[in-house]
Structure 1
């Protein structure tokens, strides 16, 4: 199988005031990053850096995904359990246009705490890291593909190449697929019936899937294929520069990865600050 074997390069180093950067999205020209604590979207375009504030009435930005069909940036918003962040009953999935104007805001109600969002073929998927649920918008409602409590901690999602199933990285249960018609959920272990736990961001590239493993420190970039009822897994990169990796996105012939998000420093102020390698690129062979 192919792999991103060339040395990674630093694409962007967020200014120190943006202490926690979580999500990343791109349309092939513009790159968006979510600065969680200050409720800001960082914008990188052709060497010029800018930012836009989250719309009034929205929470802290987490995962991001660009919707090429609508020309919207979808944002999972919530109130993460961090010093200085006010608690909330529910987060929301929101969408903004390129100028930061609010276009959509949906939530299934209290207890919804989204962290990751993905888009493909005009579909949008959002996952809840606290109760394992996965939803897709249907009008002004969120349709549950995985109901709350069925799984444990849903993270990244990716549509299969045939568009029939959604691959879900559950932090505690491992990789699963969901049939988009029947909503049947199937766990896909590694060889030996072992689950691949500790995955965060997820993206499909052809028939392969790349994911961030941050269940241990330092983090890793892993790649897997679905082979029948199990997955074949390989480690592409372990350790530097993946000090505290979270999300990733495909950008043409490379992967863009939030390599040092800053969660330890945001959770415990006495921890070292986020490093310079906020966003790095791994080129495909």
Structure 2
């Protein structure tokens, strides 16, 4: 797995498709802060997106797609000066998976949201800007448009397994949006995501994610990017915000945390699996970073309800979220 795959898998990334919005004339709809990461695509027409805490509105045209990575309220509108209505009643009156506002059918938006497991804020969302826009005119956005069109067809025709297909396509779309954003706007991301935009740092990250239990040295990681030890250390610190071995320790503890939450392996077994020579070595590092011992962390995690996974007997394809958010 590469770092992006690793993190999205660790966070149990899931998509949830929502009711679409059909609008016309002069209109504006105000939405409460969404849970998870909100995405929408303009399938027809154009409108404005206003997000709390973002100074300028974002002009959206047909084919554009955006992500909202923070739990902030937002407004979609035909133009300035229209008093917005609350989204709740609008979407409560939706029929056939489509809510309507205004007079006409000039604008059509489809979308949903991505939900994650624990640690999403620290591992992924804090590294992203509040709004990510994928303009339709961007050549690299072709795959995103293909995914959106296919999702649209799955929802429209309701073939067997359509919800599951559409939701998995939405996760594929998320990966492509993150790739595209890294390629076009690398300066707007931070942490390990910023490191993926630097080929030298990315090579070191790939090594650590491929073999997290290996006793890596900075010199070995530097050879993966064909640079000196000092060059890697400086570039890694500059882009990721911490040294290579600090990052490796943090990633090992993320892997250990997941196993403690979800598995039944002994702490000693988990320690060996993530690269620590003994249970005491893992316990020392874990308590220093996480604030509690592995055993206490597992006991605390045991109080949380288990989350069903894809493929688990409890998981069944869901209907569309009743709300746009």
Higher strand share: 1
Query: TM-score with structure 2 length normalisation?
Result: 0.27
Of structures 1 and 2, the one scoring higher in RCO (CA 8 A, sep 6+) is 2
Query: TM-score with structure 1 length normalisation?
Result: 0.30
Larger C-alpha radius of gyration, 1 or 2? 2
